[in-house]
């Protein structure tokens, strides 16, 4: 289970492409709410499986062996370290049930100081830092509210992590200007020793209703960017672990994507600062929609997770998402590598969960598969030494999401 918790909706910077609403709100998750979240999870994993009629809604709660907690949906480091010491301890009841619990932060990096570095060294969470590339690319969109770019403070935070030997990965949002400078992007990450990275496209998602990647020629531009970046990496002996490339390599070895957690209720649980719960795509939480009750399936103070996942909102959402998955399966020749895509992107791009293709899937699935496969086979044809062969398997930067994404 992936559990995404909004410690606060507030963010200290104001990225122009951010999908999250209410980034000026300074609400803070109460410890009482956090204890209720953990209590609901304990209750859930000890109950009998919830088995519903629609495939997208089958939840086997007792099969859970690990809960990955991601602190996101605002800048998590605006909360004090003392909050996280208490928060991490609050998950002990889950460990007592035999579940593994890991914590992760997705941060813009600007608030990382020596105290945070010490805490990271002690608690050993997974850390993702958002940096879009060199300063002229990063600061186009990742600005403070006064209009100043955040690159220098982000880079200072990264440097502190590197100096202390704290492992982390980076996530970069690709915008149209970035796609035009693949050499500049590759050399930036290589020179800065940022060797574990993932690319997210500038999505039409959440409150972000536009994207510089919405043009008809962008698929070719994205393909050329990724192809060039991958070839540079291959020629250099694969110093960079690129999430997209490793994901494709793992898919090719497996033959298909085992499952899509965004289309199955309960595999991803998102909880906002007030204890409201959503499932399926994390980006749905915070959107306003009358038909699906703002995508809130319940609240930890008023219902159990089993009740939420079998409630009216979850059932109606699951039915619509299942129809979209069926449409994908009927029309897409790479369905086995995707299993129905990202429901939030479908809804935000087309207004329906039943769409079978989006800009998001055209780039992150289809174009990425095409370009990665070409480079893999190109590398195999040249038979590089074993230590230079294309790395396969899981990257530490699984992100999710996207959301994660």
Q: What is the pLDDT along the chain (405 residues), one digit of tens a residue?
A: 899 999 999 999 999 999 888 889 999 999 999 999 999 999 998 875 555 444 444 444 445 688 999 999 899 999 999 999 999 999 999 999 989 999 999 999 999 999 999 999 999 999 999 999 999 999 999 999 999 999 999 999 999 999 999 999 999 999 999 999 999 999 999 999 999 999 999 988 878 788 888 877 898 999 999 999 999 998 999 999 999 999 998 888 888 888 899 999 999 999 999 999 999 999 999 889 999 999 999 999 999 999 999 999 999 999 999 999 999 999 999 999 999 999 999 999 999 999 998 999 999 999 999 998 888 777 666 654 444 443 333 333 433 333 222
Cα 265 to Cα 49, 59, 270, 338, distances in angstroms: 13, 7, 11, 17
In terms of Cα–Cα distance, which of 135, 161, 162, 160 is closest to 150?
Answer: 135
Q: What pLDDT does 56 receive? A: 44
Sequence-ordered alpha helix ranges (H) in 255-366: 305-309, 312-331, 343-350, 359-361
Range 2-319+362-388 classified under CATH 3.50.50.60: no
Dist CA 258 CA 215 (whole Å):
32
pLDDT tens digits, one per residue of 40-82: 999 998 875 555 444 444 444 445 688 999 999 899 999 999 9
Q: What's the N-to-C CA distance of the chain in angstroms?
A: 15
List, in sequence order, every residue forming a beta bridge with 271; answer none if it has no partner. 5, 277
At which residue do the structure tokens 């300074």 appear?
Answer: 26
């Amino acid at each position: 289970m992936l559990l995404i918790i909004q410690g606060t909706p507030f963010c200290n910077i104001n990225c122009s492409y951010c999908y999250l609403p209410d980034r000026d709100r300074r609400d803070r998750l109460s410890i009482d709410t956090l204890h209720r979240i953990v209590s609901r999870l304990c209750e859930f994993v000890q109950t009998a499986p919830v088995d519903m009629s629609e495939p997208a809604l089958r939840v086997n709660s007792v099969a859970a062996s690990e809960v990955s907690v991601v602190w996101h949906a605002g800048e998590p480091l605006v909360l004090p370290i003392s909050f996280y010491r208490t928060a991490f301890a609050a998950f002990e009841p889950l460990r007592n049930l035999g579940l593994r619990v890991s914590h992760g932060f997705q941060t813009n990096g600007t608030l990382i100081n020596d105290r945070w570095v010490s805490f990271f060294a002690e608690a050993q969470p997974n850390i993702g830092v958002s940096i879009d590339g060199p300063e002229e690319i990063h600061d186009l969109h990742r600005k403070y509210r006064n209009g100043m770019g955040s690159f220098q403070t982000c880079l200072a935070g990264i440097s502190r992590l590197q100096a202390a030997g704290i492992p982390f990965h980076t996530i970069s949002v690709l915008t149209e200007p970035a796609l035009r400078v693949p050499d500049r992007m590759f050399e930036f990450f290589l020179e800065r020793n940022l060797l574990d990275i993932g690319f997210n496209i500038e999505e039409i998602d959440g409150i972000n209703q536009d994207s510089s990647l919405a043009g008809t020629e962008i698929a070719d531009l994205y393909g050329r960017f990724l192809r060039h970046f991958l070839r540079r990496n291959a020629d250099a002996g694969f110093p960079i672990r690129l999430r997209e490339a490793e994901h494709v390599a793992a898919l090719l070895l497996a033959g298909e994507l085992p499952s899509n957690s965004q289309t199955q209720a309960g595999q991803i649980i998102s909880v906002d600062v007030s204890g409201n719960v959503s499932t399926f795509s994390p980006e749905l939480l915070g959107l306003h929609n009358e038909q699906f009750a703002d995508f809130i399936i319940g609240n930890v103070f008023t219902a159990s997770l089993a009740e939420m996942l079998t409630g009216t909102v979850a059932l109606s959402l699951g039915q619509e998402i299942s129809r979209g998955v069926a449409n994908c399966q009927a029309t897409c020749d790479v369905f086995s590598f995707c299993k129905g895509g990202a429901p939030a992107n479908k809804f935000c791009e087309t207004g329906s969960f039943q769409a079978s293709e989006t800009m998001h899937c055209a780039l992150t699935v289809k174009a990425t598969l095409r370009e990665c496969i070409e480079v893999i086979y190109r590398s195999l044809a040249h038979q590089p030494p074993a230590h230079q062969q294309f790395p396969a398997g899981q990257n530490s930067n699984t992100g999710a999401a996207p959301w994660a994404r």
